[in-house]
């Protein structure tokens, strides 16, 4: 039926209230008028965002973190000898770790490569599709392949497995499905599955990629421990950037000097030593003679041992309880050297002396880690 003027009305589907004409919709100004008001769409979107309750956003964020944490804890109860075997294979490998995966698993794979490479395990990433078109030539029989797929049924990944077998490389899989094609074809399958994804539809890889990443970190840290990888090694592989700068700083530039050094003489009392430790806030005080020759160190641990051995120690001389011949370091060495020494000997305070044993300064672990004079400079 035509309306006045011969134009047919725009018809809407049935809606509550019987409204069927588009031009009669409440608040509708017509498409022509809307096109003359370009700011209206932005204003409506802004109003909608501002109207969203902040508590809902926080609830969503907390639930995502809860689900992803749940996924990692799920793995914690299922780590077994398969991961141990994977670590040992890589540790004994004379080639490289060749990581491969597609989509989100591929992104995780690139991060695993970066972590392995920076901690002493040579690694490269190969995209499965590029591998099908010639990049398999980079793989050698002495390499180990780490293939990532949560489902284990990724066609683009599984199609290159026979070629990898013919090359002679071992294949390790990170997968959430130990019954998958990938798990059945590889030499060793490490479980990285999760109970559920954080995505409300259960489709977007979220918790599953976090689990893959966490398992990759677990493997990398186990490897660097087996290799006895030290701060000096990390510095050698990171000559640039903030961390590289921090590790190569000379100790003379970061050590506490002058009035900052906690000092007492050998005849000072335990009470005086405790006061010096409290004022200088280092957790130890150094004992020197009149020529500033280092005689010993008195730490929080020495204090606890003294209190355990004797009841009334406050008036006793500190020389009776100090640790003799403490470990020292030279001022011209680097932060990396000091960190390595502290880690090896499990200490947090390190006196700095010259060749004759004269005290020059003192270092605390916090100074080396950035809470003292070392700062990020770029």
Residue 38 is predicted with a pLDDT of 53
> What is the topology classification, in CATH, of domain 63-229?
Rossmann fold (3.40.50)
Report which DSSP code applies to 293. Answer: B
Residue 49 is predicted with a pLDDT of 61
- Whether the domain at 63-229 and the domain at 251-371 fall into the same CATH topology: no
- The Cα-based distances of 361 to 7, 39, 142, 319, 375 in angstroms read 93, 65, 50, 20, 19
Sign (positive/negative) of CA torsion 193, 194, 200, 205? negative
CB of 190 closer than 8 Å to CB of 86: yes
Q: For residue 41, what are its two tokens? A: 């769409």
Residue 280 is predicted with a pLDDT of 87
Residue 312 is predicted with a pLDDT of 82
Residue 238 is predicted with a pLDDT of 63
Question: What's the predicted TM-score (pTM) here?
Answer: 0.57
Residue 52 is predicted with a pLDDT of 63
- The Cα-based distances of 33 to 22, 26, 28, 37 in angstroms read 14, 15, 9, 7
Superfamily per CATH, domain 251-371? CBS-domain (3.10.580.10)
Rounded Cα distance, 265 and 242, in Å: 39
List of the chain residues with pLDDT < 50: 1-36, 372-378
Rounded Cα distance, 154 and 102, in Å: 8
Block residue for tokens 């005689």: 295
- Dump pLDDT digits (tens) for 300-354: 888 888 888 887 888 899 998 999 989 999 988 988 888 888 888 888 899 999 9
**Residue ranges of the domains in the chain?**
63-229, 251-371
- Dump pLDDT digits (tens) for 36-78: 455 565 666 555 565 567 788 888 999 999 999 999 999 998 9
């Amino acid at each position: 039926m035509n309306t006045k003027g011969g134009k047919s009305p725009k018809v809407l589907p049935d809606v509550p209230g019987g409204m069927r004409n588009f031009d009669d919709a409440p608040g509708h100004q017509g498409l022509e008028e809307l096109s003359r008001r370009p700011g209206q769409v932005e204003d409506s979107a802004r109003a909608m965002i501002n109207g969203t309750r902040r508590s809902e956003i926080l609830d969503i964020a907390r639930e995502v973190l809860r689900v992803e944490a749940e996924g990692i804890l799920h793995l914690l109860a299922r780590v077994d000898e398969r991961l141990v075997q994977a670590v040992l294979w890589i540790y004994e490998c004379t080639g490289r770790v060749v990581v491969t995966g597609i989509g989100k698993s591929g992104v995780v794979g690139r991060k695993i490569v970066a972590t392995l490479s920076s901690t002493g395990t040579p690694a490269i990433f190969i995209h499965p599709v590029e591998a099908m078109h010639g990049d398999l030539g980079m793989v050698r029989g002495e390499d180990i392949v780490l293939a990532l797929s949560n489902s284990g049924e990724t066609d683009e990944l599984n199609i290159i497995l026979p070629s990898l077998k013919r090359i002679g490389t071992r294949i390790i899989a990170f997968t959430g499905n130990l019954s998958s094609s990938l798990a059945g074809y590889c030499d060793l399958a490490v479980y990285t599955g999760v109970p559920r994804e954080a995505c409300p539809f259960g489709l977007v890889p979220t918790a599953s990629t976090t689990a893959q990443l966490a398992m990759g970190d677990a493997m990398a840290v186990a490897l660097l421990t087996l290799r006895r990888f030290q701060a000096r090694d990390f510095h050698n592989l990171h000559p640039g950037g903030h961390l590289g700068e921090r590790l190569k700083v000379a100790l003379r530039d970061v050590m506490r000097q002058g009035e900052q050094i906690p000092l007492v003489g050998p005849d000072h009392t335990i009470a005086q030593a405790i006061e010096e430790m409290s004022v200088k806030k280092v957790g130890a005080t150094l004992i020197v003679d009149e020529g500033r020759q280092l005689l010993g160190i008195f730490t929080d641990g020495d204090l606890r041992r003294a209190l355990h051995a004797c009841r009334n120690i406050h008036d006793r001389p500190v020389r009776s309880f100090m640790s003799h011949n403490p470990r020292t370091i030279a001022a011209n060495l680097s932060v990396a050297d000091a960190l390595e020494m502290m880690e090896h000997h499990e200490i947090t305070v390190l006196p700095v002396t010259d060749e004759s044993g004269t005290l020059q300064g003192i270092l605390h672990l916090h100074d080396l880690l950035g809470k003292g004079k070392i700062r990020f400079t770029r």
